[in-house]
Chain A
Amino acid sequence: MSGRDHSVVEDENTFLVKHADLFLTEDEMLDRPARRRSLNGRDLVDVSLATIAAGTTAIVLRLTLDWNGLMSTVVWWYLLFVALYFVLVRDRTSSEVAVDKAVTIVVWSLAALIAGVLGWMIVYLTAKGLKLLRPGFLTSDMRSTGPLTTGGGVKAAIIGSFEQVGMATAFVVPVAVLTAVYLNEIKGRLSPFIRFIVNALSGLPSIVAGLVIFAAWVNNGHGFSGAAGAAALAVLMLPIVTRTSEEILRTIPDSLREASLALGAPQWRVVLRVVLPTAQAGLLTGVILGIARAVGETAPVLLTALGSDATNWNPFHGPQASLPLFVWQLIREPNLRQNDRAWTGALVLVFLVIALFALARLLLARSQRKLGRSR
């Protein structure tokens, strides 16, 4: 009860703060932080006028020129809208202000377009995948599930993905960070050569990474296994994590290295105690980028871990499933029930990745909060 009352009071307060200009005298306003907006009420009027005028023109053009698709109308509407808005604002103010506002609108709308595409994908995926998403889907595998039965789920695939990506990450992170240290801190004679290899490797098509492991290991008497999948994923992750780590180490100011050396530190302690801790946030971002790449890869895992209906906990023996493989294998089947499972699998994959990112950022924010750093 009391909690609800409290929230109502708070709402009124925020209302008062937001619309302070309606209730306060000019003198009182001076005691409050002023709210400056890049777009104000007049701009909204201009936006509406420009929208209507541009829309009308675009529709007239559509009818007279007999356009069929919707795309051309929208594009023409948008271009006309920006031009009209610019002219309206320029009439009222000056061309500098008008350019500023028009560019603001363009930048905002492009950012909104990107966010919109991403949001639409997530909404679409959720709509398709929510159908079968229930606890049982996460805790059962596909061993006794077919096109004609209900049930089944991603248990085997989740285990496989975690083991494969986990093993790949455990291998890649130390190797990549040490390579970055060699490239940027030690600056050894082999640096240009290693940098060239890393750059070349980062352009490697993922199917090739899978093929190499397939030919050298799987088809060489060892058979399909999660570990082989992890090896292929590691080949893909290594250049990404190495390159981002090197970039991050390059942003650490030399003044910190000098300060450490001037205290009598040997270089390895400078790296271990000052450079790497300072670069922590950036290094984590690099690792996340690498994981994001690896967890969604299908082709290399297909050639090395193969995929499996049954749960296989042992990554060193026998075929193992993984989430992208699960999606790929079930979406190909000419069966709606299997297709639905694929969509739900894709939804699980996306949310696992998002949860992983959120967790990493959270841990990082916690460790940095006490130092009062913004980055």
Chain B
Amino acid sequence: MSSVVTDPTVPGGAPVAVTAASVLRQASNPVDLEATQLSAWFGKRKVLERCDLLMERHKVTALIGPSGCGKSTFLRILNRMHELVNGAAISGTVELDGVDIYSGKLSPTQVRTRIGMVFQKPNPFPSMTIKENVLAGLKLSGTSSPDRDLLVEECLMRGGLWNEVKDRLDEGGMTLSGGQQQRLCIARSLAVRPQVLLMDEPCSALDPISTRVVEETIHELAPDITIAIVTHNMQQAQRVSDRCAFFLVEEFGKPGRIIEAGETTQLFASPRDPRTLDYVTGRFG
């Protein structure tokens, strides 16, 4: 079943990355994702106000800021998951490759197929094996793949999990450890070949070693997939992202806003706003 040359001693090593990347690159063509004047409500409560952010192709954008400032809501608006909550509403536009995803040209399911998401807590499907979990997106979105075994191998490799699970693909997804489950979820979201991948604190439940593997995965994916990642870990934001946006609720009860956005190095070294400086240096509050 293995048609890709692998080096078992180096997870995600050079030959693996080149082969898997080349296969994926054929299918995905990275695009910009741009939010303009985005506001969001839960019922009457406004949680985000006039956020502008460009998530450029080939780049990783990190969303940072204290809890409750609307980072996750912002992320969920980007693939139309926000509207699943009762009473949720938005205004503004989100353009995927120049097309507003809220304009009606694309259905929510089409949007979500092109813009994948990895959640904070790993959530593999308990009724499926590891292999079925990877292929779940195909079944669930009704798309077909010519070579499923190859796709499984490819996605698990890009998720940095292949070497650990290649001999137990038919075991349940829940038999894996927490870190492995999260990488399985990343592999699962890659299988539908998204152009954008949104990650909502993907490492918050993981140990440092699993975190490192996930971060390596993000690095490898960046050339092919536009990535936006929410993180509470300043070091992680610096390690994985090219660009960074700082969210903040300025006053209690007010909606969250983007205070500052720019190159990660610049934002961490010489932020324009004093509040950004306070937050990234840990002197917040």
Instruction: Report the Cα distance A253→B124, complex, angstroms.
Output: 11
A263-B189 contact, Cβ under 8 Å, with A371-B171, A372-B172? yes
Q: Does A125 contact B (CB under 8 A)?
A: no
Nearest chain B CB to A191 CB, angstrom units: 13
Instruction: Report the Cα distance A255→B175, complex, angstroms.
Output: 18
For window 95-141 of chain B, which residues contact chain A by CB distance below 8 Å? 109-114, 116-117, 119, 121, 123, 125-129, 136-137, 139-141
Nearest chain B CB to A252 CB, angstrom units: 9
> In this complex, which of B79, B112, B140, B142 has the most chain A Cβ atoms within 10 angstroms of its Cβ?
B140
The contact of A263 among B84, B110, B116, B171, by CB within 8 Å, is B116
Instruction: Provide the residues of chain A in CB contact with B112, threshold 8 Å.
Output: 261-265
Contact B141 A273 (CB under 8 A): no
Nearest chain B CB to A102 CB, angstrom units: 39
The contact of B127 among A253, A266, A277, by CB within 8 Å, is A277
Contact A261 B81 (CB under 8 A): yes
Instruction: Provide the residues of chain B in CB contact with A262, threshold 8 Å.
Output: 79, 81, 112, 116-117, 119, 189
Contact B127 A280 (CB under 8 A): yes
Instruction: Provide the residues of chain B in CB contact with A255, threshold 8 Å.
Output: 119, 121, 123
The contact of B84 among A258, A264, A371, by CB within 8 Å, is A258
Instruction: Report the Cα distance A328→B142, complex, angstroms.
Output: 54
Closest B residue to A281 by beta carbon equals B127
Instruction: Report the Cα distance A258→B111, complex, angstroms.
Output: 14
Closest A residue to B198 by beta carbon equals A262
> In this complex, which of A260, A263, A265, A273 has the most chain B Cβ atoms within 10 angstroms of its Cβ?
A263
Q: Does B192 contact A (CB under 8 A)?
A: yes
The contact of B113 among A256, A264, A270, A277, by CB within 8 Å, is A264
> In this complex, which of B111, B119, B139, B142 has the most chain A Cβ atoms within 10 angstroms of its Cβ?
B139
Nearest chain A CB to B164 CB, angstrom units: 15
Interface size class of chain B, counting residues whose CB lies under 8 Å from the partner chain:
35 or more
Nearest chain A CB to B194 CB, angstrom units: 9
Instruction: Report the Cα distance A372→B139, complex, angstroms.
Output: 22
Nearest chain B CB to A265 CB, angstrom units: 3
Instruction: Report the Cα distance A373→B125, complex, angstroms.
Output: 12
Instruction: Report the Cα distance A308→B208, complex, angstroms.
Output: 73
Nearest chain A CB to B138 CB, angstrom units: 9
For window 59-115 of chain B, which residues contact chain A by CB distance below 8 Å? 79, 81, 84, 109-114
Q: Does A83 contact B (CB under 8 A)?
A: no
Instruction: Provide the residues of chain A in CB contact with B141, threshold 8 Å.
Output: 263-265, 269
Contact A278 B119 (CB under 8 A): no
A273-B136 contact, Cβ under 8 Å, with A266-B109, A280-B127, A373-B174? yes
Instruction: Provide the residues of chain B in CB contact with A32, threshold 8 Å.
Output: none
Q: Does B170 contact A (CB under 8 A)?
A: yes
Nearest chain A CB to B107 CB, angstrom units: 9
Instruction: Provide the residues of chain B in CB contact with A273, threshold 8 Å.
Output: 136, 139-140
Instruction: Provide the residues of chain B in CB contact with A274, threshold 8 Å.
Output: 125, 127, 136, 140
Instruction: Provide the residues of chain A in CB contact with B113, threshold 8 Å.
Output: 263-264
Closest B residue to A277 by beta carbon equals B127
Q: Does B257 contact A (CB under 8 A)?
A: no
A373-B126 contact, Cβ under 8 Å, with A258-B84, A263-B188? yes
Contact B127 A259 (CB under 8 A): no
Contact B174 A371 (CB under 8 A): yes
Instruction: Report the Cα distance A255→B84, complex, angstroms.
Output: 12
Q: Does B185 contact A (CB under 8 A)?
A: yes
Closest A residue to B191 by beta carbon equals A263
Closest B residue to A253 by beta carbon equals B123
Closest A residue to B188 by beta carbon equals A263
Nearest chain B CB to A351 CB, angstrom units: 32
Instruction: Provide the residues of chain B in CB contact with A258, threshold 8 Å.
Output: 81, 84, 119, 123
Instruction: Provide the residues of chain A in CB contact with B123, threshold 8 Å.
Output: 253, 255-256, 258-259
Instruction: Report the Cα distance A263→B112, complex, angstroms.
Output: 6
Contact A371 B81 (CB under 8 A): no
Instruction: Provide the residues of chain A in CB contact with B137, threshold 8 Å.
Output: 263-265
Nearest chain B CB to A158 CB, angstrom units: 35
Closest B residue to A274 by beta carbon equals B125
Instruction: Provide the residues of chain B in CB contact with A370, threshold 8 Å.
Output: 129, 170-172
For window 240-272 of chain A, which residues contact chain B by CB distance below 8 Å? 253, 255-256, 258-266, 269-270
Nearest chain B CB to A256 CB, angstrom units: 6
The contact of A264 among B127, B140, B170, B175, by CB within 8 Å, is B140
For window 173-192 of chain A, which residues contact chain B by CB distance below 8 Å? none
Nearest chain A CB to B171 CB, angstrom units: 6
Instruction: Provide the residues of chain A in CB contact with B188, threshold 8 Å.
Output: 259, 263
Instruction: Provide the residues of chain A in CB contact with B117, threshold 8 Å.
Output: 262
Contact A261 B125 (CB under 8 A): no
Nearest chain B CB to A274 CB, angstrom units: 6
Instruction: Report the Cα distance A266→B185, complex, angstroms.
Output: 19
Instruction: Provide the residues of chain A in CB contact with B129, threshold 8 Å.
Output: 370-371
A256-B125 contact, Cβ under 8 Å, with A262-B112, A265-B109? yes
Instruction: Provide the residues of chain B in CB contact with A253, threshold 8 Å.
Output: 123
Instruction: Report the Cα distance A259→B123, complex, angstroms.
Output: 7
The contact of A278 among B84, B116, B127, B192, by CB within 8 Å, is B127
Known: A261-B81, A262-B117. 10 other contacts (CB 8 A): A256-B126, A261-B112, A262-B119, A263-B192, A269-B141, A280-B127, A371-B126, A371-B171, A372-B171, A372-B174
Residues of chain B whose beta carbon lies under 8 Å from any beta carbon of chain A:
79, 81, 84, 109-114, 116-117, 119, 121, 123, 125-129, 136-137, 139-142, 170-175, 185, 188-189, 192
Residues of chain A whose beta carbon lies under 8 Å from any beta carbon of chain B:
253, 255-256, 258-266, 269-270, 273-274, 277-278, 280, 370-373
- 21 residue pairs of the A-B complex, CB under 8 angstroms, read A255-B121, A258-B123, A259-B123, A259-B125, A260-B125, A260-B140, A262-B79, A262-B112, A263-B141, A264-B109, A264-B111, A264-B140, A265-B141, A273-B139, A274-B136, A370-B171, A371-B127, A371-B171, A372-B171, A372-B175, A373-B126
Query: 6 closest Cβ contacts across the A-B interface?
Result: A264-B113, A371-B172, A265-B140, A277-B127, A264-B141, A263-B137
